[in-house]
Chain A
Amino acid sequence: MGQRGEPRRVQAYDGELGAAVARAQEGDEAAFAVAYRLVQPGLLGYLRGIVGDDAEDVASDAWLEIARDLGRFKGDGAGFRGWTATIARHRALDHLRRQKVRPRPAALEQDLLDLPGQHSTHDQALESLSTQAALELVRGLPRDQAEAVLLRVVVGLDGPAAARVLGKRPGAVRTAAYRGLKRLARQLGVDGVTEEAPRTLGEST
């Protein structure tokens, strides 16, 4: 299964992304579209992990800011993913704060209804993991672990870049990512250890 190299395949685009960003900064709109298409999948996956169904709206807001501030950015393709993830994260936190003030009916129940049963999740794990099931697993993690895992695995940032996005020390983020992945691996049954009942699955954020 070719999934194994997935996180690194993200980084394989870094050269292309860096060139596209440079051209976009020179005024090439098509290059900006290329950069958007390279970055958006990871960004959206990350945002789904923290704001759920509002991810598209939040991503859209983030892109307005990215498009506006593009001239300020300095760096290569990997740097661009870090920079955009930082902007997206700020927009997501704003969104969560607004939600706290004016709570909406939690999306959680709906998500749970959509979820395949636990056992089937496990059975399917090695084939493929449905987006919803994966989201539920990630959102069952403590917040810092979930974010660290998402930034490392889904956005494809390296450790120091993820730490910079989160405003934390690299060591703390490395630990959080490791613990989060370890727990997920156990829940997915891909680490060879007997699966433990995912007690915290229902907890969101």
Chain B
Amino acid sequence: MGERPTQGGRADRRPAHPEAAALLAAALREESGGRGGEGEVRALAAYRAARDTGAHRTARTRRRDDWRPRELRGGRRTLKSTLSVLLASLTLGGVAYAAIGAAGSGGSAGNGADGDRARPSAAASTPGRPAPRPSAPPSAGSPRPDRPDRPSAAGDTEAHCRVYERLEGRGRALDATAWRRLVEEAGGEKNVAAYCAAVQARPSAGDEPGKGNGAGGAGGTGKPDKSGNPGGSQGNPGGTAGQGNGGADGGRKTGGGSSRGGDE
């Protein structure tokens, strides 16, 4: 008889072997046990003492004192949800990190063809600059003097755009989240190329050094290569970004390219 709503695991309450259980219960439960006896008197005295000193009001409920059904209990549920939130954040963090990694490593390592392409152009554009990117002096034509280390959200978009172009229109190979976001920002898959072009044109518009550098820099050599590729139809708008991108991209590639050049 379910006097209490059976909640969760509390359902299995009937022991096996009911006859034996009933016999034992009848024999061992002492129904008159301690009624009005010394034990009860002591218990009631202790109760009064605790109540009158306010112990019942101030006492804090420890985990072992919480016997509410599991749905109402704070502890385990919180632990479980904490763990799942932690797991989710780790996963998302990993995705984000991978996206950054993809964008960043594309510049320095990339695939073989890209690396080969980037290196000479970087050497050509800035032959006299050995310093890797982080310590590169902003005056030497660094395209983003206002953002020395960490690109902002717009920077992420740029990075995604660069990866997108480097993938020659196979944009979905971008990490799914990054790709979706890019499509979202562009307002449709078809617009991605144009959107990227616009995004990459933007910094150079207000940035004189970027433009100047881009004109003769990596963008100049890099983009024609791309448009000649079979997948280049979609990557083509990069050509329009060539000037602007040249500045941004060239600056980055310089770092990766020149440090690698130093190894050889």
Contacts and interface: CB of A to CB of B under 8 A. Distances in A.
Interface residues of B, number: 57
Interface string B18-41: 111111111111111111001110
Given A59-B34, A66-B43, A154 B20 contact: no
A114 interface: no
Interface range on chain A (Cβ under 8 Å from partner): 35 or more
A29 B45 CA distance: 10
A112 interface: no
A178 B16 contact: yes
B46 A63 contact: yes
Contacts of B55: 68, 71
B25 A7 contact: yes
Contacts of B62: 72
Interface string B55-72: 111111110111111000
Contact of A44 (B18, B33, B38, B68): B33
Contacts of B1: 8, 12
A178 B17 CA distance: 8
Given A64-B43, A71-B56, A135-B28, A41 B33 contact: yes
Contact of A64 (B16, B22, B42): B42
A138 interface: yes
B47 to A, nearest CB: 4
B17 A11 contact: no
A51 interface: no
Given A40-B34, A60-B38, A128-B27, A177 B67 contact: no
Contacts of B61: 72-74
Interface stretch (A80-88, A99-107, A194-202): A80-88
B50 interface: yes
B9 interface: yes
B202 interface: no
A67 interface: yes
A46 B27 CA distance: 11
B43 A149 contact: no
B4 interface: yes
A10 interface: yes
Given A42-B29, A79-B67, A182-B16, 8 more contacts: A27-B51, A46-B28, A68-B46, A72-B62, A130-B27, A161-B67, A181-B21, A191-B17
Interface of A: 1, 3-8, 10-12, 14-15, 24-25, 27, 29, 32-33, 36-37, 40-42, 44-46, 48-49, 56, 59-60, 63-64, 66-80, 82-83, 86, 125-126, 128-131, 133-135, 137-138, 149-150, 152-154, 156, 158-161, 170, 174, 177-178, 181-182, 184-185, 188, 190-191
Closest 9 A-B residue pairs measured CB to CB? Answer: A79-B67, A71-B56, A75-B67, A134-B27, A45-B28, A67-B46, A185-B20, A63-B43, A158-B13
